[in-house]
Structure 1
Amino acid sequence: MRAYDAAMAASWAMLPEAIEQLIEIAARENDPTPEALEAYRAARADNGERLTIRGNVGILSAKGPMFKGANLMTAFSGATSYETLRRDLQVALDDRSIDAIMVRVDSPGGEVNGVDELAAAIYDARAKKPTWAFISGQGASGGYWVASAAEKIIVSDSAMVGSIGVVLGITDRKKADERSGISRLEFVSSQSPGKRPDIETDAGKAKVQKLVDDLGTVFVNAVAKYRGVTADEVLKNFGAGGLEVGANAVAHGMADEVGQFEAALARLSQRGKNRAFIQSQKRIFGYA
């Protein structure tokens, strides 16, 4: 499958302009070869890891467009893989020198596929080590989904936060095929009438819309759970699919405070040390 077809077939929790940019890259006639991409990857190897350690804090970098797994597009664009972040998160949890975890987000979002698993893992990590998120630049759509799972969200003054929702694009190539003299015949098993909904009919459009709405509901419910509010509150106060900037995001309950990364890191470091000390005392004195 060409990169263009894969991009068009996916569901996205991502800013529209970022999706358009990815589609444009995928649609280029002269697709990059695996060899060229491997050379590009090698040149950036020093920056390829998503986990770094500052003192006693492990920092996970969720930067750029996000995909479930590493692929040619992630290698070419320097995007983030959910699976890589999940593995690095486990490393941070297992490393006894790391007392706390900071998820540093600057992302327009990404694929729906896989983001729920990463967010759930971040949410579970809160019970093991203090886990905060810091958003600078963008924490949009899938990027916000990931950040919302942390116990505290700190945003920079100009951070753009939100864009809660799902987008699914379908390309109708019938006219282009007709101009090219291409005739396509497709047979679908009669037991599966919902497998290829006809988007030229109202019924077909309704089926596709329901799919997108169902995915959107999963997104909203996840944010509600992670932020400790109801789904109705998310729908009412969290931008309705739009973005809020800095302090406005805090006022709407989408984030907890405005701050700077270094100051937030220092506070998280101390919180991690305090929790580690308390846990050590419990072990010494046999507390539950």
Structure 2
Amino acid sequence: MNQHVLAAIRSEPWAIVPAYLDAIEAIALRMMDHPSLIAVERDGHEARFADATARMGERAPGTRTAALRDGVGIVPMFGPVFPRAGGLATSGATTLDAVAADLRALEASPEVRNVLMTIDSPGGAVSGIHDFARFVANFSKPLAVHVSGQCCSAVYWIASQASGGISLDPTGVVGSIGVCMSTSYQEGPDMSGRRSIDITSTGAPNKRPDLSTEEGRAALRSTLDAIESVFISTVAKGRGVSEATVRADFGKGGTLTGKDAKAAGMVDRVEADGLDGAIRRLARTAPPAAPRRAAAANHLALAQARAGL
């Protein structure tokens, strides 16, 4: 069964910090003492998540994880990102469907004037990321991002679309722009003496490319390059720079921190006071409360959002 989960992980592209993909595979195989998983568990993310959650304020009505503080609706994106709940999307991870539901509730609430996504994530599965990034780009209320830890790969793809820009803790990390897949091929017989052989029809040689050859790896890389092209194009549009700038200055698959990230144009400001500073700044710059008629309409929309309509 675990091998089937591993096969599913390896069947799709990921936009994630490589060490976390190794850890996800270790979890799938129940290898809880694997070095990659131990390293991730010791990187301090749990303490960062708890600290950020404590600073967010009271739970916003009609949401699962969002909070409300001084007119600012705050939505966390912590841990690896998956399209929806189930499988490996357990505690310590974020699902796009849950974040989207919370964002819609904040969008409908008359109490919320600005929205802030607070992010500490290594990225995640590519599936659903482009559509979610478009959702963020078209969000009707002012929406900003604050990075309290990592904002990498798939999640930077999303963050780059925030109309209110990106702020960063002085030690925050952004980047890891690129796409990867994890895979394997059989070089010898298994423990029972059997060897798996894949045979494809004549017209479909790339359905099962031979990854022991450069030609086979090139066939797989062409798919990753096509996804990366969409990734880079979206980031360039969101950050208001050329694709050449993203390719040359946004880390080349690596990450940048603090002032270096700002100098490269990957973020808009380094927030000396961290998440608290970002919330206070947005609370001060919040637009006026909605007029009574608009507020009534928002109350209705919020009620519908809570009812799942």
Structure 2 Cα separation of the partners of residues 211 and 72 of structure 1: 25
Pairing 1:155–2:168 present:
yes
Query: Which residue among 281, 290, 297 is the counterpart of 1:267?
Result: 281
* 2:238 paired with 1:223: no
- 1:224-254 deviations in whole A, cap 9, x for unaligned? 0110111001011111111111111001100
Structure 2 residue 158 is matched with structure 1 residue 143: no
State the 1:179 CA deviation.
Answer: 4.1
Name the counterpart of 2:5: 3
Which of 167, 170, 176 is the aligned partner of 2:180?
A: 167
Answer whether contact 2:185 2:212 (CA < 8 A) is retained.
no
CA distance in 2, matches of 1:275, 1:238: 37
Pick from 198, 213, 216 the counterpart of residue 201 of structure 1.
213
SS at match of 2:110: coil
Shift in Å, 1:139: 0.8
Q: Secondary structure at the match of 1:137?
A: strand
Alpha-carbon RMSD: 2.4
Q: Which runs of 5+ in 2 are unaligned?
A: 33-58, 295-309
Deviations 1:157-214 (A, max 9, x none): 0001111111111111342x44432243444344433322222233222111111111
Shift of residue 275 of structure 1? 7.7
Q: Which runs of 5+ in 1 are unaligned?
A: 31-46, 281-288
Normalised by the length of structure 2, the TM-score is: 0.78
Alignment partners' CA distance in 2, 1:261 and 1:97: 20
In structure 2, C-alpha distance between the alignment counterparts of 1:262 and 1:27, rounded to whole Å: 39
- Matched residues in 1 for 2:159 and 2:132: separation? 10
Instruction: Name the SS for the 2:217 alignment partner.
Output: helix
Deviates more, 1:242-251 or 1:4-13: 4-13
1:68 is the counterpart of 2:72: no
Give the SS at the match of 2:144: strand
Report how far residue 22 of structure 1 moved. Answer: 1.0
| 1:58 has 2:60 as partner | no
Aligned to 1:84: 98
* TM-score (norm. length: structure 1): 0.83
Q: Cα distance 1:141–1:194, how it changes in 2: closer, same or farther (>3 A)?
A: same
Cα pair distance change 1:276/1:224, threshold 3 Å = farther
Query: Aligned partners of 2:185, 2:257: CA distance in 1, in Å?
Result: 36
Separation (CA, whole Å) in 1 of partners of 2:238 and 2:128:
17
> In structure 2, do the counterparts of structure 1 residues 182 and 81 end up closer, same or farther at CA, with 3 Å as the change threshold?
same
Q: Answer yes or no: is the 8 Å Cα contact 1:103–1:134 preserved in 2.
A: yes
Specify the SS of the correspondent of 2:284. helix
SS in 2 for 1:71: coil
